[in-house]
């Protein structure tokens, strides 16, 4: 039987490097975030209802921990051929409209998504100040309709980390649309890929 955890980065991993273009026109790699006390890399996009439904909660979490030294980096790896709404120009439009408190990067080759094992949009990876993965999975338990949220696992992880406590739940299953892979059906994803726990 296939190890279900091989699809995505295991806890304790270091973040794979990248060089990706942001909606501000600049290129970013991991070295730009070396100062982060916590680095939250999350795979997101423009169109997904799970992203749209939870972005404001993600915004609140990013703003809550910004003064603690948390840095949020969103990455869109969806194929614009498979889903034109996820094109780079549409990314720019979305950031200009919403002014989210994170850097928004374009993974046009999808290599970064493969390196991290991005499974859904959104899918969060939290790294500590030593760039070790301490949390991965969902942001909240009801991303499509945040009004039904009962737990914010991303906030809990950051709260535990910044209070020097063991994380109450370091691993959760991401909830959302699958990454739209080039040359694959819009809904392609191995059956057990997101069953991490």
pLDDT at 77: 96
CA angle 43–48–51, rounded 5-degree value: 60
Report CA 168 to chain centroid distance, whole Å: 20
pLDDT at 184: 63
pLDDT at 6: 60
Rounded average pLDDT per 10-residue block, the chain, 197 residues? 60 97 98 97 96 97 98 96 93 97 97 95 97 97 96 98 97 93 61 49
pLDDT at 7: 81
Sheet order of strands, 70-76 included: 27-28, 20-22, 103-106, 70-76, 38-44, 123-127, 133-137
pLDDT at 183: 66
pLDDT at 83: 87
pLDDT at 117: 94
pLDDT tens per residue, range 96-115? 999 999 999 999 999 999 99
Question: Among 23, 8, 15, 37, which Cα is nearest to 123's?
Answer: 8
Q: Which domains does the chain have, with CATH numbers?
A: 19-178 (3.40.30.10)
For residues 143 and 50, is the Cβ–Cβ distance under 8 A? Answer: yes
pLDDT at 193: 46
pLDDT at 181: 85
Task: Determine phi and psi for 50, rounding to 5 degrees.
Answer: -75, -35
Name the pTM for this structure.
Answer: 0.91
């Amino acid at each position: 039987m296939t190890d279900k955890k091989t699809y995505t980065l295991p806890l304790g991993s270091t973040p794979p490097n990248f060089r990706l273009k942001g909606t501000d026109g600049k290129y970013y790699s991991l070295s730009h975030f070396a100062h982060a006390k916590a680095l939250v890399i999350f795979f997101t996009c423009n169109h997904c209802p799970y992203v749209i439904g939870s972005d404001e909660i993600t915004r609140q979490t990013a703003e809550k921990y910004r003064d603690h030294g948390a840095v949020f980096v969103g990455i869109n790896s969806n194929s614009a051929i498979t889903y034109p709404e996820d094109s780079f120009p549409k990314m720019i439009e979305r950031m200009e409209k919403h002014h989210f408190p994170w850097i928004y990067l374009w993974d046009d080759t999808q290599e970064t998504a493969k390196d991290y094992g991005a499974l859904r949009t959104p899918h969060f990876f939290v790294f500590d100040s030593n760039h070790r993965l301490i949390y991965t999975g969902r942001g909240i338990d009801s991303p499509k309709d945040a009004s039904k949220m009962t737990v914010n696992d991303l906030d809990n992880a950051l709260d535990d980390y910044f209070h020097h406590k063991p994380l109450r739940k370091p691993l959760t299953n991401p909830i959302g649309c699958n990454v739209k892979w080039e040359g694959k059906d819009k809904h392609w994803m191995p059956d057990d890929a997101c069953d991490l726990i």
